[in-house]
Chain A
Amino acid sequence: MSNAVAPPNKFGTRGKAWVAALSGLVLVGLVAWAYQLSQGLIVTGMDNVFSWGLYIMLFVFFVGLSAGGLIISSVPKFFHSDRYDSIAALGVLVSFACIVVAGLLILPDLGRPTRVVGFFLSPDFRSPMVWDFAIVVLYGLFCAVYFWLLTRRDLAARGSRLAFGVQDTEAGRQRDRKLSFWAAAIAIPLAVALHSVTGWIFALQIGRGSWFSPLVAPMFIMKALVSGLALMLVTAILADRFTRFKLSTELVSELGKVLGVFVAVHIVYLVGAERLPHAWAANFDFWTITSGFLVGDTVSFWLWTVVGGVIPLALLIVPSLRTRVWAVFTASVFAIIGILFEGVNLIFTGYTELNIGAAPGVTTGTEYSGIGSNIWSTVGVYTPTVIELLVSLGLVAFGALILTLGLRYFPAFPGSALGEEARPQSTGDTTAADGGEVRTDGGTDE
């Protein structure tokens, strides 16, 4: 097992190709952003009516994604359990990558990114965006530190300079476990705050239809749990496939079950709790109330609830399916897509209809090219442009790059530094399962 101890410092061909591809996408994204900077936001699909688009949708999405890893890794530690330890560091790394992507997604959305210094020079503390800015930065830093805390002894064992002088001692490891408890104690409220505050960016706005709802903050937490855990699972399963990391199917099944619970709470309970009062109040007879409650009217609603809710639930609810990695993987991917469209749906419900929709409407601010242009709109319409897609893709690639490099250069998996620390083999008893191990065959990594 000693071969596993050696710090893997080289990518294989596929790894290189992967990193090159990601770098290429990042570069394309940068070029696209440069183009956007030179032309203005006119090159996006946004306008005065639909004034937030893909960047903000993805911001919301990535903030949500950043939840899972941190929570999965923190909660057991908070209870002094070593459950899920095998994916704890991976989880924090995923969270870190996601929050970085989320934070960076704000930049291309700004009309004048240089004025972002206003957050420091003249902040208005009434603004939920200031709160969110603070919490995103804090959360990002926290993830970075936490990730380092979880891996520094292994780094030290490898002799990595990234250990910053920390020694790999048993006492140190003990102390880190203690520190981990405190970190977890911070991480949980921090994550709750992050998702609530992000929710409040929207939930405090009276001017945007259904945004203004006390349910938004719990909803954001719940969807963060769903998408975060789903992403966790996807990443772990992919890591299992493409790196030395080996994931136990018991863990997959167990986390799948947790995911199922999250999806149920989110889609069945919270969406119901949100929609029923409106449907009940607005309709009179039983069936119209029921259909008003169950039937949505937008594509994004259906993507969110069916793709992101019904399908994953179906896959996760059946115990025999849940034990299969492909089922959990599929359910996770669907749940992620669903949550993505929850964010899309959120923005669309805010912008499609105007509070005052009388003709001629609002000037779009983007349609004037000369005499004869129709500059008005009474309804919000939005399709992202290629530029927005490229910039977003570049940032997502950047997140993937963080993840890839993090996995490569940090001992993100337990025992990846010290083979003898390998956990007991899975007994099939899920209560005992912590699930992770490092393959001795080097996995499929080349």
Chain B
Amino acid sequence: MSKRDGVTRRSVLLSAGAAAGVLGIGGSNVLQSLSDDSEINDVERFLQENTVVHGYCSPNCRGHCPLDIHVRDGQIRKVEPAIPDREEFRRACTLGQTHLHRTYNPNRLKYPMKRSDWSPENPNPQGRGPDAEFERIEWSEALDYVAGEMDRIREEYSPESVYFELGSGGSGINGTVYSRLANLFGGTMMSWSIDINVGLGFRRITGAGYFNTPTNMRTDIKNADTILIWGGNVFRSRLNPDARFLLDAIEGGTKIVGIDPVYNQTTAKSDLWLPVKPGKDIHLVMGMIHTVLEEDLEDTEFLRERTLAPALVRTDTGALLKTGDVFPDGDDETPVAYDADAGQAVALEPETYGEYALRGTFEFGGHEVRTALTELEETASDYAPEDIEETIGVDADNVRQAVRWLATRGPGGVMTGLGVDRYVYGHVFGQAYAILLALTGDYGRSGCVTGGRFAGSGYRSDYGAVEGSPGTRRMQQKGILSALQGDADPPLKMMYTQSSNFVANQLPDRQQWIDSLSNLDLVAVADIHHTPTVQHADIVLPASHWTEREDITGAGEHPHAMYREPVHDPLWESKSDHWMIAELADRLGYGEHFERDRTTLLRKILEGEDRFTFEEIREKGTIHLETDEIIFTDEFNTPSGRLEIYDEDAPSEKGVSLELPVPLEDRTADDHELADEYPLLFMQGHSKWRIHSQWAENPMMREINPEPRIDINPQDAKERGIEDGEYVRVYNDRGEMIVKAKYNDAYRPGHVNTDQGWWGEHYIAGHHNNLTHTDVSETIENFAFYDTRVEIEPAPEDLDTSKYDDPTETDWIDQLQHGGDTA
């Protein structure tokens, strides 16, 4: 529903000049192409009206910002951050405010297409890639091909040979519907191998965390007194849409310690910057733990009440002493502490304070035991800040200063980015900093910052897999790669990709993924834009843009459910993913399980929601859902119900058992075998110009950020004879890319960066993910994009750099108006 009542003034404003516009716009071909569609035409409905339509943004940034889409003459004119139900959450970033340019974009997929040299009989997989040519086909033909191949492969191999790849490129009901079909069909789906490293490490201690680590609601940031912002340029890539929450905290006196190898927008606003060397984060946390304990800064009350610090650890086995070891009626689960007042061992129950000894060596039941805190203290004793100064590259006094602020100024904590996540052993960092915050007592209170994923909420729904569905085979992404390569039973023979630019762009060791596609008989890709993955498709399914879909979503990181009204019919012949799935379901014999009418489906999805009705959300656009602002207030979701600063069930890495954190490194190690040949550590930070690979073709963003560059310290560049702005070749044992050098003193010598998300075609040659690898730790299958070594040299002379030096004159804006006529 349009907010016609709420925007009277704006409507008046917008109507200025409208009369003149109507005729002109009415004659434009975008609209004509729409009018050709004989179905209900939303554009007609909007003609001559000036309205503000409820919208929201849908990429995988988890921002899910509510947007006001200004529509006139049936076209988007402008996008503004909308005022949601809980108005302080008004927010939107640069990207969210450019949907006009994302909707009316020359890169949009316009028609269903088939790769010219593909046919079910002769899939010709080597024809995929940059040189593939496509021909326009009818929707029915495209869907027949996809359904036909799904049927055939189900018969010939197994339903599990059909890979349903659901990417993160659009939050809304498209994923719900997609998974419903995948479950009915019994195909294979993927689980993530990205962004789960630190979260899962943290989870071992706190019982929570998966994609990154949870923390209080954003509104609580202002109550923190000290925040260590660690491994994330939050002002660029995570908090950008609502930077003001953190800024208000800073303005109010919160001390910010920026911990990052890179000087950036966030460290620039920090009171103290710790320029930690890439990959040395775990050493640094250990140094901080050491400092807390050495300077007696720990929160003893908290440690006794909510952590395993007083738990007794057997020195012989390393296992926790259990009540069963001490008391006749004990069990083998409940840990034991030593009550100093009572002078005896007691069971350590969750959320219970006692005068437990925090330090010391004791003997119970014939076992020598030490408190977990003593164990920790000993492990950390090797990491006095002064001793590791060289290793971590951070001044010891500053480490101590940061710890003192954190431990003594009041509540606070660690706000994590996803930087540390992208090193092989990032999970140990999750474990280590969870322990650091346990020592400082920063859980469960207002002002605590325990991570980077802020509390929010979503709607409730019972709508999901159809009862009795065979369900899907789940594999993590690394396993998917093996399965694509044929190394799985049954192997993957086709994929149907939705909202995903993974295989050709976003995954490490990209060439391997592209090569693996040669084992597939069909690659069907449904997307809004012509991504590199689309270029590897056999059947291309043009999806409608977000702004063209009626939809609902949970906000994730703010406390709302949101509704989106379509601004007009999908442009050209694009269709919603929901429509495609329903059409496929019909062909596959599951039609009865799929609602065709979008609005009816949305109502159905919301049937399980008792806090608001579909009518309400449609009217208001956003519905505030009461959500706890403070998390970790109750018993922890761990076996002991306490923060397990000593993790009895710890995994091992490289033969090192991780009951307590131990700094581990892969390629960042100074003595790594590749260090001499490839002395530079290469990361790919998240930029403010894209969300992953989305917006890469947005003309607004590309005006400011026209081409990929590699950030390099001038010292490194000069040593290699590289001038600022000169093209360079970045290479290692896996591949190369050619990009412009960008002198940037923000990077430590020996550390370089190209922002992630650039498409293959944006490079003069190569790709940043031609340099990365798929090595993961033994514990957690999480891709380590930043754990990469490269060398750089001036680019060869005979490069064709015309795409940037002398871009072809294009009349794409004019073409866009005639969008209906061009392929």
Contact = CB atoms under 8 A, between A and B. Distances in A.
Interface of A: 360, 368-375
Contacts of A371: 106, 697, 699, 702, 706, 807, 810, 812
A372 B808 CA distance: 9
6 contacts: A369-B807, A369-B808, A369-B810, A370-B808, A372-B803, A374-B804
A372 B807 contact: yes
Contacts of A369: 807-810
Of all A-B residue pairs in the complex, the 4 with the closest CB atoms, nearest first, are A370-B810, A369-B809, A372-B807, A371-B702
Nearest to B698: A371
B704 A372 contact: no
Contacts of B807: 369-373
B707 interface: yes
A372 B809 contact: no
Interface in B660-706: 697, 699, 702-704, 706
A371 B645 CA distance: 52
A210 B583 CA distance: 71
B530 to A, nearest CB: 13
A368 B704 CA distance: 12
Contacts of A373: 703, 706, 807
A126 B393 CA distance: 61
A370 B706 CA distance: 10
Interface of B: 106, 697, 699, 702-704, 706-707, 762, 803-804, 807-810, 812
A368 B808 CA distance: 10
Contacts of A370: 807-810, 812
Contact of A375 (B703, B803, B808, B810): B703
A360 B808 CA distance: 22
A57 B509 CA distance: 57
A373 B807 CA distance: 6
A372 B699 CA distance: 8
A374 B810 contact: no
Contacts of B803: 372
B708 to A, nearest CB: 11
Contacts of B106: 371
A372 B707 contact: yes
A12 B803 CA distance: 57
B804 A372 contact: yes
Contacts of B703: 368, 373, 375
Contacts of B809: 369-370
A41 B707 CA distance: 28
A88 to B, nearest CB: 55
B706 A374 contact: yes
Nearest to B697: A371
Nearest to A372: B807
Which of A373, A374, A375 has the largest count of B CB atoms less than 10 A from its CB?
A373
Which of A371, A373, A374 has the largest count of B CB atoms less than 10 A from its CB?
A371
Nearest to B810: A370
Which of A368, A370, A372, A375 has the largest count of B CB atoms less than 10 A from its CB?
A372
Given A371-B810, A373-B807, A375-B706, 16 more contacts: A360-B704, A369-B807, A369-B808, A370-B808, A370-B812, A371-B699, A371-B812, A372-B706, A372-B707, A372-B762, A372-B804, A372-B807, A373-B703, A373-B706, A374-B804, A375-B703
A47 to B, nearest CB: 15
Contacts of A372: 702, 706-707, 762, 803-804, 807
A360 B725 CA distance: 13
A187 B311 CA distance: 105
Nearest to A370: B810
Nearest to A375: B703
B231 to A, nearest CB: 26
A238 to B, nearest CB: 44
Nearest to B105: A371
A198 to B, nearest CB: 38
Contacts of A375: 703, 706
A177 to B, nearest CB: 64
Nearest to B813: A370
A360 B697 CA distance: 20
A360 B705 CA distance: 10
A360 B707 CA distance: 14
Contacts of B804: 372, 374
A374 B707 CA distance: 9
B357 to A, nearest CB: 59
A11 B350 CA distance: 114
Contacts of B707: 372
Contacts of A368: 703
A360 B742 CA distance: 13
Contacts of A374: 706, 804
Contacts of B812: 370-371
Contacts of B697: 371
